[in-house]
Amino acid sequence: MTPNRLLIKPTLTLLSLVFALTFSFGQSDITVMPEKVSLDVGESTTLKASIKGDDGKVVEDAQFLFFTRRRKGGGAVEVDSTGLVTAKLPGEAIVIVIYPHPDGKYLRANIPVSIAYPALSRIEFNEPPQNILTDIPTAISATILDKMDLDRNDLEISFSSSDPKIASFDAFNNLTGHQPGKITIMAKVEDITAKFDIKIEKNPVEDIQLTASVDEALSGDVINFEAQTMDKSGKMVKAPVTFTFQGKSAEQSEFAGGLIKPDGRFVAYQPGVYTITAVCGKNSAQKVVRIGDRQEVIKRDIQLVGKGSVTDKHTSDLWVWEGVDGRDYAVTGTWGADGEAFFWDVTDPANMTPIDTVKVDARTVNDVKVSEDGRICIISREGASNRKNGIIIFDVSDPTNVWKISEYSDGLTGGVHNLFIYDNHVFALSNAERYDIINIEDPAAPYKVGEYEIPTPGHSIHDVWVVDGIAYSSNWHDGVHIVDVGNGIAGGTPAKPVLITSFTYPSGWNHAAFPFFSKSTGKFYVIAGDEAFPYGLHVKDNPVIAAGWLHVFDVTDMENPVEVAKYEVEGAGSHNFWIEGETLYVANYNAGLRVVDISGELLGDLRAQGREMGWFISTDPKGYVPNAAFTWGPQPHKGHIFFSDWNSGLWSVKMEEKRLKN
Amino acid sequence: MKKLILQLSFLVFLMIGTIQSNAQEYYVYVTAESEDEVAVIKFDGKKATVEERIVVGTKPAEIEGPHGITVGPEGKYWYLSMAHGTPYGQLVKYSTETNEPVATTELGIFPASMQISKANGLLYVVNFNLHGRMLPSSVSVVDPELMFEIKKITTGAMPHGSRISPDGLHQYSVAMMSGELFEISTLGLEVSRVLDLEPPGTRPKEDKSQKEAKVDHSKMDHSQMDHSQMGHEEMMHHSIVKPTWVIPHPSLSRAYVAGNGSNELIEIDTKKWKVTHRMSCGKGPYNVEISPNGKLLVVTYKSEGATGIWDIATREELAKVTNSRKVSHGVAISPDSKYAFISVEGKNGEPGSVDVIDLTTFERVAVAEVGKQAGGIVFWKMMK
């Protein structure tokens, strides 16, 4: 014990003494003056608080607690123990004043504080162009800064041209040149102005040649359009081109939607005829393409093959593997129950048979994984009654006689929510803070060799998946981290994981991630899945409605991951998913199992493009929550799709080879 | 004669009816940490029943772990700490009238036990950080009216057992892993005193307990607290006592600490700020409460599945009552000092329970079954 930590602070002792004295008075009400405060940033004022005793006289030496909270507009003040209030940030704040009393008769007043915005300082243009071509609208923008250098985006800037005959603004701050010349652009807010000079040059483009990578394609296919701009002499010149499209659907009741990017990549969402237009000034060119119905080609019926019902408790994740005896097996976990994991013989997917059960000290076995050689199974533990949690390692060489080899909880007592097994190592989440890497070359004597933890404050991890020595972890608002844990691409090893790249997206719902090397395009994608429940809880007796979708990131350029596409089922939410070949299998909670064609380049809304190949809703009237599909995780295996459902257990389905007829 | 019998029967009937209508009813709230549920228990003097089960949390597919619970002094709201977030836990304010949530605010990692000071109305909740790295954690001070965190006050490693002095002027918590008792001035919002709870001569001179050490605290089995299994010679000193709870006496200048690791109850003179007695007790003392009349101390023995009842005056254990499940957890005592309500966790899929112990006969008189891993428990109200 260090002496300073035992020190009784004299100030606090004095404070207690003063309170002891003031408490001897009764009191009736608290008065704080002023009752409202208005300050400029940096300005201070002192709140005068007082109370009156039962005799109506002001209690002398009464002491008060002062503290503060931001309110509307992020206003901030500081307040000290004497009631001195100093404005720090503009907006609204509140100062709470409490007169403490040991008999529970404390008094309290909430004093609103309004902090005025500082005077405006300047306007700064955002990358103002030095010259533009005539007849091509160009967006002009600027930032308003006040004297605290705060971005005042609550105010609107008025832009004007010194000579509207040469160039003028539309209502949305786009500047269009009408004839060559030099003008000055003025920006004004209140009495603050800024300006810059710009040269308007004649647009030399007299012709545009528009070409497409193909003339016919399916909905969901990406067509690349290229526009070459040429001057009067036919010489190619560089000029900005805008792409637009108009389409006519093949179906009377459908709209011909799609997406075209500034670089000319176009994807149609509906079958029909689309006209793509390239515009440069007063010149334009058009190209017509015909789009066929992808659904006609890819749609499949998904048929139920078998059920391994678990209806007395929730089921969590699954793993399906070929055993050392050549038969096929599955393991499923349980959730919020009694720590069981079930082993199934799924060689005949129509007759999935439970063959063994293990029970560990846990309430949730959220994750289960089996080694590539089919001999080792690891399961995660949460809610252990002794709070040890960690992982359990089983020998599943004979899945009819599963036996525990060892358990490992060092550093994992906070609960393991997800785990992975790869190349004699277990990647186990610890306390939602990090993943630990545990060597299990000798599964009877596991030991930790490394760990990976994001350095940002308030980080939280949810899942980890390893392929080819690269770990893909999902970290809610910190997004996906791609880490070399033995691949060598960044010099990483299990003992020394090295971050390769990471990316985030605004919702902060990142829950799962799966890498996808697209053979048909050579691109490398990582699909990041959400988990969200914005519509409340209905755990016991009603279906749960989830939200969220899959975000497709193009990570071909590892330095610059770009979100390019999404897969969303409206009214439901994504959970775990799997990719085999160029097919995506999604457990979509209340929307059941979904199978999605992810061949070719991916761009835009994949479901709207008709890339969904089929679906199966795992509704079970005898389910833990009856008739409430809550599909948890899928895994394709030897031509069948196995998946677990939270309310009904293990399912096997098969996607028909034959194309359905509408 | 027949008429007289009839009249007497009617009188008896009336008397029984009167007695029944005047029967005292006791209500407690209890959390089920592995069920994401809070139960309202009614005890009518004979039978304990679950009046309502309240599903808590926001994520159906995650266990969010309701842990600490308290009722505001005015009785209009109850407050619940949710241990698991991403990564921070939350404080949720519920209406006692509707048992519906009305406000939330974010706290630290694994917020746990809490209480509201009657001196200023502020709520003090420990950020337990049960499975985190061995670093000093904190006590969050929350304004329960506007539901925001005013301040985090740094204390020790793995703070637990937030209890406030009867006058509301001091908040006490213990740091399980650094073996210390912390006193916070509820007025100054700072740590006012720290007391080393380790037996004299057991703390190494070069203790780095409050410095950042590369120590993975989660390497320990927190429930069993078997120090010998931890194998961390290079790490900071880990408490032998492993205090898990502290309760100030309602009228005397004393506080009592549960020494979960040392199997003892530690009596502290809060004026002199020193340990005055160490009393050996059952295995794994976990939560401790004192009857409002100041006479009895009730302690759960987590490792025994039992509850100890101690005479504070003589410092003797009067009785040890076997609980209905194996893992005893929390204690709440009725304001009339007649009954102790014990939350018992259970194991695996076993339901948790609330045992009612008669503090005059020292017998378990009722059991109510609740969700898995029953933990935080708080007395709500008495009604007739």
Residue A531 exposed, middle or buried by CB count within 10 Å (0-12, 13-18, 19+): buried
- Whether B63 and A383 have beta carbons less than 8 Å apart is answered as yes
Whether the predicted pLDDT of A3 surpasses 80: no
CA distance A239 to chain B (A): 48
Q: What does the pLDDT average to over B210-223?
A: 40
**Contacts for B339 with CB less than 8 Å, ≥ 6 apart:** B26, B43, B333, B356, B357, B358, B359, B365
How far, CA to CA in Å, does A630 sit from each of A141, A514, A536?
Answer: 47, 21, 15
Which of the pair, A638 or A62, is modelled with greater confidence? Answer: A638
Across the interface, of B34, B151, B188, the residue whose CB is closest to A363 is B34
* pLDDT, tens digit (0-9, with 9 covering 90-100), for B122-175: 999 999 988 877 889 999 999 999 999 999 999 999 999 999 999 999 999 999
pTM: 0.88
Report residue A28's pLDDT band, with 50, 70 and 90 as the boundaries. low
Contact assignment for B120 to A387 by CB distance below 8 Å: no
Q: Which of B87, B117, B148 sits opposite A459 (nearest CB)?
A: B87
Q: Does A92 touch chain B (CB under 8 A)?
A: no
Contact A366, A335 (CB under 8 A): yes
Parallel/antiparallel/unpaired status of strands A131-133 and A192-201:
parallel
**Do A207-292 and A298-529+593-655 show the same overall fold?**
no
What one-character-per-residue DSSP string does B180-235 give?
Answer: EEEEEETTTTEEEEEEE-SPTT-S-TT--TTS-----GGGS-TTT--GGG---TTS
- A348/chain B closest Cα distance in angstroms: 30
Answer whether B131 sits within 8 Å of A413, measured CB to CB.
yes
Cβ proximity of B44 and B79 under 8 Å: no
- Cβ of B253 under 8 Å from any chain A Cβ? no
Nearest CA of chain B to the CA of A555: how many Å? 26
Cα(A73)–Cα(A91) distance, integer angstroms: 5
Closest CA to B215 of B186, B248, B237: B237
Residues of A in contact with B60 (CB under 8 A): 533, 537-539, 544
Reply yes or no on whether the pLDDT at A431 is more than 90: no
Q: Which of A2, A12, A71, A94 to mutate to test the interface with B (most CBs of B within 10 A)?
A: A12
Task: Indicate the burial class of B69 (C-beta count within 10 angstroms; 0-12, 13-18, 19 or more).
Answer: buried
Give me the sign of the Cα torsion angle A147, A149, A154, A157: positive
**What residues of B are in contact with residue A103 (Cβ under 8 Å)?**
118
Pick among B104, B122, B131 to test the A interface (most A CBs inside 10 A): B131
- Considering only the beta carbons, identify the residue of B61, B119, B327 that sits closest to A100: B119
Question: Are the CB atoms for A335 and A316 separated by under 8 Å?
Answer: yes
Q: Tell me the pLDDT band of B218, cut-offs 50, 70 and 90.
A: very low
Residues 6+ apart with CB under 8 A from A455: none
Q: Which of the listed CATH numbers 3.40.640.10, 2.40.110.10, 3.40.50.300, 2.60.40.10 matches domain A207-292?
A: 2.60.40.10
Residue A538 pLDDT: 60
Q: Is A336 on the interface with B (CB under 8 A)?
A: yes
CB A166 within 8 A of CB A160: no
Q: Over pLDDT 70: what percentage of chain A?
A: 94
- Under 8 Å CB-to-CB from A359, ≥6 apart: which residues? A338, A339, A340, A341, B348
Tell me which residue in A19, A387, A539 faces B223 most closely, judged by beta carbons: A387
A54, A189, A287 from A244: Cα distances, Å: 78, 34, 11
Closest CA to A654 of A638, A641, A635, A636: A641
pLDDT band at A222 (very low <50, low <70, confident <90, very high): very high
The answer to whether B87 and B107 are in contact (CB under 8 A) is no
Q: Which fold has domain A120-201?
A: Immunoglobulin-like (2.60.40)
Q: Which two tokens stand for residue A489?
A: 């691409």
DSSP string, B123-183: EEEEE--TTS-SS--EEEEEETTTTEEEEEEE--SSEEEEEE-TTSSEEEEEETTTTEEEE
Q: Distance between CA atoms of A135 and A132, rounded to whole angstroms?
A: 9
* B220 Cβ contact list (under 8 Å, min separation 6): A413, B177, B229, B230, B238
Nearest residue to A573 via CA among A551, A604, A600: A551
The residue ranges of every structural domain in chain A are: 3-116, 120-201, 207-292, 298-529+593-655
Q: Whole-number mean pLDDT of chain A?
A: 92
A433–chain B Cβ distance below 8 A for any pair:
yes
C-alpha angle A217-A220-A225 in degrees, rounded to nearest 5: 60
Least confident window among A102-116, A610-624, B1-15, B363-377: B1-15
Q: Does B55 touch chain A (CB under 8 A)?
A: yes
Rounded Cα distance, B44 and B110, in Å: 34
Six-digit token pair at A487? Answer: 């691949």
What's the gap between Cα A355 and its chain centre? Answer: 39
A339, pLDDT greater than 50: yes
A411 has a pLDDT exceeding 80? yes
Token pair, residue B330, equals: 């929390």
User: Mutate which of A21, A65, A366 to disrupt the B interface (most B C-beta within 10 Å)?
Assistant: A65
- Of A104 and A322, the one with more pLDDT: A322
Hey, what amino acid is at A26?
G
Confidence band, pLDDT 50/70/90 cuts, at residue B8:
low
Taking the Cβ of residue B187 and every Cβ of chain A, the question of whether any pair is shorter than 8 Å is answered with yes
| CA-wise closest residue to A111 among A73, A83, A81 | A83
Share of chain B above pLDDT 90, in %: 77
Which chain B residues have a beta carbon less than 8 Å from that of A65? Answer: 120, 187, 189
Flag whether residue A100 sits within 8 Å of chain B, measured between CB atoms. Answer: yes
pLDDT at residue A20 in the model: 40
Q: Which of A68, A386, A412 to mutate to test the interface with B (most CBs of B within 10 A)?
A: A386
pLDDT tens for residues A239-288?
Answer: 999 999 999 998 888 889 999 999 999 999 999 999 999 999 999 999 99
In this predicted structure, what is the pLDDT of residue A14? 42
Q: Which of A413, A462, A544 lies closest to B60 in CB terms?
A: A544
Q: Which of A335, A388, A646 sits opposite B221 (nearest CB)?
A: A388
**Has residue B16 got a pLDDT over 90?**
no
Q: Pick from A424, A615, A461, A602: which is nearest to A520 by CA? A: A602
Q: What is the mean pLDDT of residues A207-235?
A: 98
Peptide bond before residue B144 is cis, with ω within 30 degrees of 0: no
Six token digits for residue B257: 């600490």
> What are the DSSP E strand ranges found in A61-206?
65-70, 76-79, 84-89, 91-99, 107-116, 120-125, 131-133, 138-139, 142-146, 158-161, 167-169, 174-177, 181-189, 192-201
Tell me the CA end-to-end span of chain B in Å, nearest whole number.
36
CB contacts under 8 A, B 113-142 vs A, are: 117-122, 130-132
Say if the Cβ atoms of B146 and A110 lie within 8 Å: yes
Query: What percentage of residues in chain B have a pLDDT greater than 70?
Result: 86
Average pLDDT of the residues in B299-323 = 98
Q: Which of B63, B151, B345 sits opposite A336 (nearest CB)?
A: B63
The encoded tokens of residue B15 equal 């008397």
Q: Which of A380, A409, A410, A644 to mutate to test the interface with B (most CBs of B within 10 A)?
A: A410
Higher-confidence position of A63 and A181 = A181
Between A123 and A61, whose confidence is greater?
A123
Strand partners, B116: B123
Rounded to whole angstroms, what are the CA distances from B164 to A19, B76, B115, B167, B339? Answer: 17, 20, 7, 8, 21
Q: For residue A588, which residues of chain B lie inside 8 Å, CB to CB?
A: none
Q: Where are the domains of chain B?
A: 25-200+234-383
Right CATH for A3-116 from 2.60.40.1080, 3.40.50.2000, 3.40.50.1980, 3.40.630.30? 2.60.40.1080
To which CATH superfamily is domain B25-200+234-383 assigned?
Answer: YVTN repeat-like/Quinoprotein amine dehydrogenase (2.130.10.10)
Closest residue, chain B, to A6 (C-alpha): B194
At residue A455, the 3 state secondary structure works out as: coil
pLDDT at B12: 54
Domain A298-529+593-655, second-level architecture? 7 Propeller (2.130)
pLDDT tens by residue, B38-89: 999 999 999 999 999 999 998 888 889 999 999 999 999 999 999 998 889 9
A67 touches chain B (CB under 8 A): yes
Partner-chain contact A1 B203, CB within 8 Å: yes
